Structure 1
Amino acid sequence: MTEQKPGAFLADVALLTEHRYEAAEAAPDDWYLGNMLRDDALLQAALQKRGLSAVRIDWARKDVDWRQFRCAVFRTTWDYYERSAEFSDWLDRVKHETLLINPAEMIRWNMDKHYLADLDAKGVNIVPSVFMEAGSQADKLVSLMQENGWSKAVVKPCISGGAWHTYRVSPENAAAVSQKIAPVLQKQAFMLQPFMQSIVESGEDTLMVLNGAYTHAVRKRAAKGDFRVQDDWGGTVEAYTPSPAQIELAERAMAAVTPVPVYGRADMVRDGEGNWAIMELELLEPELWIRYHEPSAEPFADGIVNALHAFESGRTVKPAF
């Protein structure tokens, strides 16, 4: 890191990534990093037009003085769930050293999928979710499915990413799945949801909401024979034009969070009644596919500028979590 004079800023904005993706250039065959760099470059250009400099940096670096940035924006911190205790400690410390966007309290809330119950309580239609708390018995999968009338389900940790320890469950494989999740369940909670057939039939729709308004969408499809839409498992992504009902749900879900997130995405599917339902609301490190709709970098940058000005003028709204 370059030595800075007291009070000087290394850059206005730190775009937070992790150690695997901190490189400034991607190898010709590394499309994964290439996509990240393209998205961040578009955001950096939009910020530059607004007079803000931005650099990409690993959140976990030990040699960083976060006071050298006016704010830090979570972009590709995709290892947080693998080191959640360290990440939580980092949040507690750095929130006093610079402005975090989205705010630390919102990030902590969104890290744990229990947040879906909060959205449900606010009238946002979600995929039905049942929680298995840490230390509970893993062999309860079948009984929980029966209690809720689900013939098939999906189980996943409440703090996770990339479909880590995510399994499709049926009465036939429940015992095997229980054995797989039992060691993790002793330490952290899991969430059980009904398996949505629409995921394998038509995919999962993702709507980006930047600076409070919908900008663009993609449809994620699982590989043949799978249900996980992440590219880690062979999933694919395509541009998508959502219905007005989907846009309304995405914006309403974001508006249910206080303050309204600067950026985020709403993942949704059709529920058992044919209505759109939130699968997840990603506010921490969402892939935003800015490269699919390059103008979306502009409202993203506007949101960062607005949050920064509100913070520096003392007008920041305290998160309601």
Structure 2
Amino acid sequence: MTEISILTPDPADPSYRGQWPGVLERLQSALSAAGVTAVPTPWVDHVEDASGLANYSLILPVLVWGYHRDHERFLRATRTWTDAGLPLANPASVLGWNSDKAYLGRLAERGVAIPPTIWSERVTADQVEAAFDALGAETLVVKPTVSGGAWKTLRLDRGEPLTDPPLGAAMIQPYLSSMETEGETSLLFFGGRFSHAVNKRPVPGDFRIQVQFGGTYASVTPPDDALAFAHTVLAAVEEPLLYARIDLARDAAGNWVLMEAELIEPDFYLKNDPRAGAGFGEAVRERLGL
């Protein structure tokens, strides 16, 4: 079998210990069915020296969960991997810019619809108070631009005090009530081809859709306009992508907006994939020239 590598979380980070090994197993199973062996290795072992990855024909950073809590080191690693010319997919350049949600502003400049957003270098109570009127919203979401899994993400009603805000660059958006009624829809693409879609909803009273907060996931057939919108997002990226997860929600007017373009380490939700990751395996084989 052809041997490739999958980059995994920092062993010292306990946050995802109960979750990522199962995801890794599903990824390895899909790749094994495609005739590819995937060897896991922590990304933190290759920050300054890429020689430990040099012999792999392909490196997948699809499990670098937790990088947002060590962002500077992660950016150093992407520069090391770039300088070494490693065969990463997605490319190290994409890993760098996609790790900061400021990229949403750049995609918006290319015609991709996103929720109205106020960008802040450091969120203050006065700024949040002004944002309610500026965005015409009664409820806001405040989150760091470098984050993952709803880390340090706040939902605030008008008049509610700002406590424990993000300490660095952040974004302020109107809360989309559709998250509770329609949820967020994630569309998975492998090798530029649509694979499957999952609808994610929070438990009653919460706004976080992640499974660690009780979010529920269901396989869905995305409407045609959602699929077309996702293709618009991919076209705006303008870089070769082996995989992508495009997370969409409807705004107050019922239009699709981009919540995230997950191009680093998205869960592919292979448990919800009717083909159990076969499309991913096919994309990897194509990338390897097999």
TM-score relative to the length of structure 2: 0.89
* Bigger mean CA offset, 159-168 vs 38-47: 38-47
Matched, 1:56 2:28: no
Residue 267 of structure 1 corresponds to which residue in structure 2? 247
What is the alpha-carbon distance in structure 2 between the residues aligned to residue 68 and residue 258 of structure 1?
A: 28
TM-superposed deviation, 1:11? 6.7
Matched, 1:302 2:279: no
**What secondary structure does 2:22 align onto?**
helix
> Are the equivalent residues in 1 in contact too, given 2:219–2:272 (CA < 8 A)?
yes
RMSD: 2.5
TM-superposed deviation, 1:305? 3.8
* 1:44 corresponds to which of 22, 27, 31: 31
What is the alpha-carbon distance in structure 1 between the residues aligned to residue 54 and residue 280 of structure 2?
A: 23
> Are the equivalent residues in 1 in contact too, given 2:188–2:196 (CA < 8 A)?
yes
* 2:174 corresponds to which of 186, 189, 194: 194
Could you tell me which amino acid in structure 2 is paired with residue 259 of structure 1? E
**Structure 1 runs of 4+ with >4 Å offset:** none
What is the alpha-carbon distance in structure 2 between the residues aligned to residue 70 and residue 95 of structure 1?
A: 15
Q: How many residues align?
A: 283
TM-superposed deviation, 1:39? 2.2
Structure with larger Rg: 1
Alignment of 1:6-45 (within 5 A): 12-20=3-11, 32-33=19-20, 35-45=22-32
Residue 312 of structure 1 corresponds to which residue in structure 2? none
**What secondary structure does 1:256 align onto?**
helix
What is the alpha-carbon distance in structure 2 between the residues aligned to residue 81 and residue 289 of structure 1?
A: 21
TM-superposed deviation, 1:20? 4.6
List runs of 5+ in structure 1 lacking aligned partners: 1-9, 310-321
What is the alpha-carbon distance in structure 2 between the residues aligned to residue 81 and residue 75 of structure 1?
A: 14
What is the alpha-carbon distance in structure 1 between the residues aligned to residue 52 and residue 34 of structure 2?
A: 22
What is the alpha-carbon distance in structure 2 between the residues aligned to residue 280 and residue 127 of structure 1?
A: 11
List runs of 5+ in structure 2 lacking aligned partners: none
What is the alpha-carbon distance in structure 2 between the residues aligned to residue 302 and residue 222 of structure 1?
A: 32
Could you tell me which amino acid in structure 2 is paired with residue 53 of structure 1? T
What is the percentage of aligned positions where both structures have the same residue?
A: 30
Could you tell me which amino acid in structure 2 is paired with residue 230 of structure 1? Q
Residue 98 of structure 2 corresponds to which residue in structure 1? 110
TM-superposed deviation, 1:301? 3.0
Residue 218 of structure 2 corresponds to which residue in structure 1? 238
* 2:71 corresponds to which of 64, 71, 84: 84
Alignment of 1:277-296 (within 5 A): 277-295=257-275
Could you tell me which amino acid in structure 2 is paired with residue 93 of structure 1? T
What is the alpha-carbon distance in structure 2 between the residues aligned to residue 294 and residue 244 of structure 1?
A: 19
**What secondary structure does 2:232 align onto?**
helix
* 2:200 corresponds to which of 220, 224, 236: 220
What is the alpha-carbon distance in structure 2 between the residues aligned to residue 42 and residue 277 of structure 1?
A: 33
